[in-house]
Chains A and B, each alone.
Chain A
């Protein structure tokens, strides 16, 4: 699975959009981009995933660049409860086999 690079921390004002970047320059054509988040020491929570097209669900939007070497997770209206560590991972299949989580980005939403 491709390695990902994320900034260690970011701040966002409450009510504003939070844009979390992820670099995955060595991604292969059949690898998906997944985003999870972890609040305090709870189990990580799935947010969204995509292959090449932009995706949107009730939690967030995922923008993948045309060359697929980077992506951005967008939380459109961040709330204090969105304060968490956000992980971007890349893997060849949806849920099978090896998967590696890096250190993620600690997002702090401020009032």
Chain B
């Protein structure tokens, strides 16, 4: 089944403890992207990637890192999480000419 898989689905962590949210797609898509969603603020793009080793900042990149070493994986790294990064995170992938992004099921992160 074609899908975008995020892990974990839920995570509670403490301030300052480095964490990684993984994202993997099995559709051979060139494009991948991370979003965060907060009440009243819609979906905001954190980082996106056009292909392997090509990444760029979205609208809210501060406090996040990404890497794209393989086409299928696009992990989101929080080096020193803070409570304002408590949010619902979505990974998405797509390709040129396709119908639209395919989104993962989301990761609900709480930083205490």
- Which of A's residues lie within 8 Å of B, judged by CB? 34, 36, 41-47, 49, 87, 93-104
A97 and B92 alpha carbons, distance in the complex (Å): 12
In the bound complex, residues from chain A placing their C-beta under 8 Å from that of B45 are 98-100
Instruction: Evaluate whether A41 and B31 lie within 8 angstroms (CB atoms) in the complex, with A98-B58, A104-B42 already known.
Output: no
A-B contact count (CB 8 A): 77
In the bound complex, residues from chain A placing their C-beta under 8 Å from that of B14 are none
Partner among A41, A94, A104 whose Cβ is within 8 Å of the Cβ of B97: A94
Interface magnitude class on chain B: 35 or more
The DSSP consensus for interface residues of chain A is loop
In the bound complex, residues from chain B placing their C-beta under 8 Å from that of A45 are 103
CB of B22 within 8 A of chain A? no
Instruction: Evaluate whether A34 and B100 lie within 8 angstroms (CB atoms) in the complex, with A43-B90, A43-B106, A96-B31 already known.
Output: yes
Partner among B41, B98, B104 whose Cβ is within 8 Å of the Cβ of A43: B104
Instruction: Evaluate whether A96 and B40 lie within 8 angstroms (CB atoms) in the complex, with A36-B100, A43-B104, A46-B99 already known.
Output: no
